[in-house]
Amino acid sequence: MSLPAEEFAPVPLSAVLRQGTRDAHAGANSERFIEELLSGGLTRAAHADLTAQLLPVYEALEEASAALGDDHRGAGLVFAELARVPALERDLAFLYGPGWREEIRILPATRAYADHVREVGGSLPHYTAHSYTRYLGDLSGGQIVKRMMKEHYGLDEEGVAFYTFPDIPKVKVFKDAYRHQLDLLDLDDDEVAATLAETHLAFTLNRAVFTELAAVHC
């Protein structure tokens, strides 16, 4: 008896990552710092500190995006409308004032995260893992974070530009297009495994930053 071809169809990378990180995701968003920040139990300074920690991470990630270049297999994952560094710089100038570069304090876990992204970002599975974890997260839970920061900490649009994607009018449509690009990457089995493993590491690196932020703010 012959089976329909779809019985053998490989699981698309977007589904591998979504299903494979469900528990890691639940763990990350039940971190004490995140729970207290989102429920309004912290201060605007805690939001500012989280924003500060994101800057080195996105500098490293977006350097890796630029280095992928037009002809690389991963170029389909690089979208100009996702770039977050300029928005982070605007938020930090608003939250800390014009001397923000001297004011912000980068935590050891943040340094470790950014250094790691810089170290591995030239490898497609690793780049994919870090791009997926941050950008799809920003376009998903990030939109909830934005609403909560505005509601609890008296912010309007200034100070939450990081969570606003002015060139992405329909987030769901964009997320589907991003997932489609993930599925077109044409990774072999070892590369898919490496991508999933690195995505778990990306969640762990984010959680380490939340743990250090909790020690300061909770």
- Report the residue from 91, 203, 209, 213 that binds ligand HEM according to the rule CB under 6 A: 203
The three-point CA angle 122-213-119 to 5° equals: 15
Interface with ligand HEM, residue 111, by CB under 6 A = no
Question: Is 100 or 107 the residue whose CB approaches ligand HEM more closely?
Answer: 107
Interface with ligand HEM, residue 18, by CB under 6 A = yes
Question: Is 92 or 206 the residue whose CB approaches ligand HEM more closely?
Answer: 206
Interface with ligand HEM, residue 132, by CB under 6 A = yes
Interface with ligand HEM, residue 182, by CB under 6 A = no
The three-point CA angle 122-117-85 to 5° equals: 100
Interface with ligand HEM, residue 211, by CB under 6 A = no
Residue 40, CB-side half-sphere exposure with 13 Å CA sphere: 8
Interacting residues of 179 by C-beta distance below 8 A, sequence separation 6+: 12, 14, 136
Interface with ligand HEM, residue 136, by CB under 6 A = yes
Give the nearest distance from C-beta 71 to ligand HEM in angstroms: 27
- Report the residue from 160, 206, 209, 214 that binds ligand HEM according to the rule CB under 6 A: 206
Token pair belonging to 123: 């490898």
Q: Which residues bind ligand HEM (CB under 6 A)?
A: 17-18, 25, 28-29, 34, 132-133, 136-137, 140-141, 144-145, 175, 203, 206
